[in-house]
């Protein structure tokens, strides 16, 4: 939340109070890509009054080349799932929203996560998290209003080592919100 907590809270409360739906914040300067819902204090004087902003979320993306992902040398889904579960638990312990979007998030569909055959059936925190790739995220809004979020990346490699050949990015995770055939 940085040093602008009051202003951020006022903005998110305004969005919630005025029922402004489908607000997406795109942020960077973090070393793990993740998607989370947004929360605010319904009563700025009561830290226990945390509430989610309905139908809104944030995408924290990056780094395309910064440090952090290079701490991971095992790119198996089980390693990513363990990291996501740890992140999920630490966020909950801090009173932050869960990592990822819940299966009942309004309009959520077509969830994909590299290595997770169950992502579209039962999304988990790992399906919205990439701690081990140098990546970028693309947001696309279709004519029917569907928002598609795609994170593309290459597996990180140890610091101060460089592959001898070009590595093409692959789709790490993606999902859609809304659209004409949304549930």
Ramachandran class of 73: left when φ > 0, alpha when ψ lies in -120 to 50, beta otherwise: alpha
Question: Which pLDDT score, from 0 to 100, does residue 69 have?
Answer: 75
Report the SS3 class of residue 142. Answer: coil
Question: Which pLDDT score, from 0 to 100, does residue 2 have?
Answer: 57
Parallel, antiparallel or unpaired: strands 147-155 and 133-141: antiparallel
Q: Angle CA(90)–CA(2)–CA(25) in degrees, nearest 5?
A: 80
Domain residue spans in the chain? 5-177
Quick one: 93 exposed, middle or buried, by C-beta within 10 A (0-12, 13-18, 19+)? exposed
Question: Which pLDDT tens digit goes with each residue over 143-177?
Answer: 999 999 999 988 887 777 777 778 889 999 999 99
Quick one: 49 exposed, middle or buried, by C-beta within 10 A (0-12, 13-18, 19+)? exposed
* Entry pTM: 0.88
3-class SS shares of the chain: helix, strand, coil, % to 5: 20, 35, 45
Question: Which pLDDT tens digit goes with each residue over 27-62?
Answer: 887 778 999 999 999 998 898 899 999 999 999 987
Question: Which pLDDT tens digit goes with each residue over 97-148?
Answer: 999 999 999 999 999 999 999 999 999 999 999 988 888 999 999 999 999 9
């Amino acid at each position: 939340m940085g040093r602008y907590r009051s202003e951020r809270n006022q903005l998110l409360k305004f969005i919630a109070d005025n029922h402004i739906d489908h607000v997406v914040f795109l942020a960077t300067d973090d070393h793990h890509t993740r998607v989370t819902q947004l929360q605010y204090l319904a009563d700025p004087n009561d830290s226990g009054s945390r509430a989610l902003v309905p139908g809104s979320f944030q995408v924290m993306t990056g780094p395309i080349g910064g440090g952090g992902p290079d701490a991971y040398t095992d790119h198996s889904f089980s390693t990513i799932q363990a990291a996501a579960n740890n992140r999920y638990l630490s966020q909950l312990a801090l009173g932050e929203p869960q990592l990822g979007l819940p299966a009942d998030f309004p309009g959520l569909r077509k969830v994909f996560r590299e290595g997770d055959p169950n992502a579209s059936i039962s999304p988990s925190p790992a399906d919205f998290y990439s701690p081990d790739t140098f990546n970028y995220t693309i947001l696309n809004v279709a004519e029917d209003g569907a928002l598609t979020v795609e994170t593309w990346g290459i597996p990180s490699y140890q610091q101060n080592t460089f592959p001898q050949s070009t590595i093409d990015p692959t789709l790490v995770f993606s999902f859609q919100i809304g659209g004409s055939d949304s549930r």
